[in-house]
Amino acid sequence: MPPLALASSLPPASRLSPLPQCPQKYPAIRSAPQREQYKAVFCDQLAEYRELRGRLRAARRALGELDALMSRAPRRAPRWERVSNGEQWEPQPGLSLLEKQERCNYLRKKLLHIKSRIREYDHAAPESSVCF
């Protein structure tokens, strides 16, 4: 099984549980203090998103290198058979690649939602307001 196919073969039960819906948790902004709260959440979540996205890129790059290495190895080589059978696969502690990807996707949607709420408020607010 190719390395990138591992994630798609995981059972649905191992996937991240759905997180709260953004529209319900982050309704339209009604005041400047609420806007500042949304902005603080946005900045905090953006830092996590960028870090997670960087880790995912590094993991994809490593998987691509491993895939290239495996494609160059003779098919009957004992090491290739051990690696392709998963004998040398040792998962790292923490979130799996699939869980990281799902978290990254969720954060992206959440950030887009919060940003749109802030922009809606800024558009409806008087001209003296600071735009996001």
**What are the pLDDT digits (tens) for 56-96?**
999 889 888 888 887 887 776 665 565 566 555 555 556 68
Residues 10-51: tens digit of each pLDDT = 334 344 444 457 778 899 999 999 999 999 999 999 999 999
Domain ranges of the chain: 26-124
Q: How far apart are CA 50 and CA 53, in angstroms?
A: 5
- Specify the pLDDT at position 77: 63
Q: What's the whole-model pTM score?
A: 0.64
Residue 41 tokens read as 């959440």
The shares of helix, strand and coil residues in the chain, as percent rounded to the nearest 5, are 65, 0, 35
Q: How far apart are CA 20 and CA 1, in angstroms?
A: 34
What are residue 33's phi and psi, to 5 degrees? -60, -35
Q: How far apart are CA 81 and CA 57, in angstroms?
A: 27
